[in-house]
A and B are shown apart, each in its own frame.
Chain A
Amino acid sequence: MQNNLFQDQKFRGILYQTLVVGFFALGLYFVINTTAYNLEKRNIATGFSFLNNPAGFDISFSPFLDFKSTDTHLKVYFVGVLNTLLVSFCGCIAATILGFIVGIIRLSSNWLLSRIAYIYVEFTRNTPLLLQIILWYAILIQLPRIKQAPQIWETFYISNRGLFGPKPIFLDGSNIVILSLVLGFIISFFIARWAKKRQDTTGQQFPTFTTNLSIIVFLPLVVFFIMGSPITLEYPVLKGFNFKGGAVIRPEFIAMFLALSIYTAAFISETVRSGILSVTKGQREASGALGLKKNWIMRLIIIPQALRVIVPPLTSQYLNLTKNSSLGIAVGYADLVHGFGGISLNQTGQAIECMAITMATYLLISLTISFFMNIYNRSIQFKEK
């Protein structure tokens, strides 16, 4: 039997796999060892203690955290993560909406509309994203200079330093207004559930959308006036070199947001189109025969079935968009790669540490997105009863 060991498929399988893993481990060991040796030979300091050192430089684009040059490199990291998440989140939402609209338009029977959608898709997905980002930025930077910024009702200003608008200031009692808004959403949720249940059992319909919309809008509005208008607006004012006060969206962010969402939407629209086409013609005809309205057919019959095809590739588009946001460095958008993986890396010289942290972070973000998308995917799969 001993001689026949090599003819045993199971044994061979284990042997080859052990060899492959062994060689991989050996290679990894060699790379790490060589790196460590060379770092030591060149007297390059290693370790993660630099994270607690003050950064020494400023990051102006930090909408969530207040960043000063005395803050640590660790805070640079968090600012970078938040900026990456911000542009990825906004980009994913916009790309999904635009992608669905374009995908449906491409299937439209209107020749002109479907041609326009076709040209858009082919143009955006066949040119490099980096060029598109730089193109958007080059356009935005040609907007009027800050001193000549055109204004709309003395509230909004458009300039090549960003779009300026009013910022809400929350005074005493504003919590109650926000609380009432949350309450409005909760009430709406229960109304929707009740209405659905009633329709399922009795077939009677309820104007859920208009009812809920008015609850969400009017309840906080009434509370707002009862509390004596506790939320006011702060308007931007041109003082010295820049606008003071108010809120601002920077051109670096706009360029990234536009480029990422428009680029990814082209891919999503193709996914949506393939999903809709995957639903058999009979479904559409049958629902038409039942007398459903045209947009109901889309919403209630086609899309739920199409989603089963759409969601898995949609997940990878979200991952692509998130990873592509690392191109922010091209226009000076202070994302994770530009801020922590770029400036901090450079100022401290801790290249391996910074890159390892940055990569681990992208991995974590991507896995999180996959995790939630997989849950969603499972929830929309066809359930056999």
Chain B
Amino acid sequence: MKKLLSIFAVLAFAFSANAGTLDDVKNRGFLKCGVTTGLIGFAAPDDAGNWAGFDVDVCRAVAAAIFGDSSKVEFTTTTGKSRFPTLASGEIDMLARNTTWTLSRDVNLGFEFVGVNYYDGQGFMIPSALGVDDATGLDGATVCIQTGTTTELNLADFFRANGIGYEALPIETNDEARENLFAGRCDVYTTDASGLSATRAQADDPDKWVVLPNIISKEPLGPLVRHGDHQWGDVVRWSLNTLIIAEELGINSSNVDDMKSSNIPEVLRVLGVEGGYGEMLELSNDFAYNIIKQVGNYSESFDRNIGPDTPLGIGRNLNALWTDGGILYAPPFR
């Protein structure tokens, strides 16, 4: 009897280890999503303590797709350093933390980037009083930099390529970098341009700070999952794609019910009126409807969190749809 029990225990362990992430999430009843420790516009708690932001919306979209309820998310804060171990260890199901998609992260670290939700590039922010209007004029400056990031490597490359020197001040979080910058410990803060806009929005007097026009790198930011669980990767990928496709088709949170009686076939496929695309993902057929209804489409999320009418005031630029001069593009919903 004891022997039998121990065999059962081993088998149960083996099964639970092999079960897919999607089943785990469904059984648990909520999604565990990793975000930043607080970057206004992308992921930060609002006055009521609810997480809000552009990256947060990706988590909410996935929760809406699985549960039909975008609030079923538990957020875990991660630093630039802790994010990968947290994901690899299974503590979170997915990471939506303005993380740059690179070859080594995709391959060597054992992760899978499911798409890009924000095309960014690394920039520099300085006090406007310094009177510098180009990053090549920063010879000898002290630069605050978040450690463990791709920006750290780009920074070294940029200064080396231009034959100018700098002093690096490696900092752990965005908040620490901001304090050092505002206190004058460093002249320059460098990170993704979106992050700079967020930092500038938090200054006492944002007009005293200027983001230089130089963009020194490609930073495609997107959500990622552990490598190997393709079913789960597909769920996150198509939740993200749904946000973009909805904007392409002109479906938003306020007209989504009316669009159910549209005569455009792709709209009907997206909203689950025709075809069984949700079932292919092992979700309900109206998963995309739930995402759009509860989170909105890409442009709604963008405008709500980081768009021109927010303190960040970021324009669409590269992140406009491919039909509007940007490079935002999702594979067809078919």
Contacts and interface: CB of A to CB of B under 8 A. Distances in A.
A57 interface: yes
A349 B168 contact: no
Contacts of A56: 152-153, 156-157
B88 A60 contact: no
Interface string B176-189: 10011001110100
A351 B180 CA distance: 28
A376 to B, nearest CB: 37
Interface in B138-186: 138-142, 147-148, 152-153, 155-157, 159-160, 166-172, 176, 179-180, 183-185
B107 A43 contact: yes
Nearest to B108: A45
A355 to B, nearest CB: 11
A242 B152 contact: no
Interface stretch (B78-86, B237-245, B305-313, B314-322): B78-86
A104 B130 CA distance: 52
A22 B227 CA distance: 36
B148 A242 contact: no
Contacts of A43: 107-108, 110, 227-228
Contact of B84 (A60, A70, A334, A349): A349
Contacts of A70: 160
Interface stretch (A90-98, A106-114, A121-129, A339-347): A339-347
A332 B157 CA distance: 21
A343 B152 contact: yes
Nearest to B137: A240
Contacts of B85: 351
Nearest to B169: A332
A161 B170 contact: no
Contacts of A142: 183
B170 A241 contact: no
A142 B109 CA distance: 40
A347 B142 contact: no
B104 A60 contact: no
B168 A59 contact: yes
Nearest to B167: A60
How extensive is the interface on chain B, given as a class?
35 or more
Contacts of A69: 153, 156-157, 160
B228 A141 contact: no
B226 interface: yes
A70 to B, nearest CB: 8
Interface in A34-68: 41-45, 56-60
A34 to B, nearest CB: 11
A160 B184 contact: yes
B152 A42 contact: no
Contacts of B108: 43-45, 349
Contacts of A251: 185
Interface residues of A, number: 36
Q: Which of A332, A347, A351 has the most CB of B within 10 A?
A: A332
B195 to A, nearest CB: 17
A198 interface: no
A239 interface: yes
A244 B187 CA distance: 15
What is the interface of chain B mostly: helix, strand, loop, or mixed? mixed
A145 interface: yes
B168 A58 contact: yes
A344 to B, nearest CB: 9
B170 A338 contact: yes
A68 to B, nearest CB: 8
B142 to A, nearest CB: 6
B140 A240 contact: yes
A349 B109 contact: yes
A333 to B, nearest CB: 9
B132 to A, nearest CB: 9
Interface in A131-185: 141-142, 145-146, 160-161
Contact of B170 (A160, A239, A242, A334): A334
A330 B107 CA distance: 31
B192 to A, nearest CB: 17
A66 to B, nearest CB: 12
A329 interface: yes
Interface string B225-239: 011100000000000
B170 A343 contact: yes
A160 B185 contact: yes
A349 B87 CA distance: 13
B180 A141 contact: yes
A343 B185 contact: no
A347 B150 CA distance: 8
Contacts of A160: 183-185
Contacts of A330: 172
A53 to B, nearest CB: 11
A342 B90 CA distance: 21
Contacts of B156: 56-58, 69
B140 A241 contact: yes
A315 to B, nearest CB: 32
A145 B169 contact: no
A242 B185 contact: no
B109 A244 contact: no
Nearest to B141: A241
Contact of A242 (B110, B141, B153): B141
A329 B153 CA distance: 19
Contact of B140 (A44, A57, A244, A349): A244
Contacts of B107: 43
B170 to A, nearest CB: 5
Interface of A: 41-45, 56-60, 69-70, 141-142, 145-146, 160-161, 239-242, 244, 251, 329-330, 332, 334, 338, 342-343, 345-347, 349, 351
Given A241-B141, A332-B170, A343-B152, 16 more contacts: A44-B110, A56-B157, A58-B168, A60-B169, A69-B160, A141-B179, A141-B185, A161-B142, A240-B141, A329-B172, A332-B171, A343-B148, A346-B84, A346-B147, A349-B84, A349-B104
Interface of B: 80-81, 84-85, 88, 104-105, 107-110, 130, 138-142, 147-148, 152-153, 155-157, 159-160, 166-172, 176, 179-180, 183-185, 187, 226-228
7 contacts: A42-B228, A59-B170, A240-B139, A241-B138, A332-B170, A332-B172, A349-B105
Minimum-distance CB pairs A-B, first 4? A346-B148, A69-B156, A42-B110, A145-B184
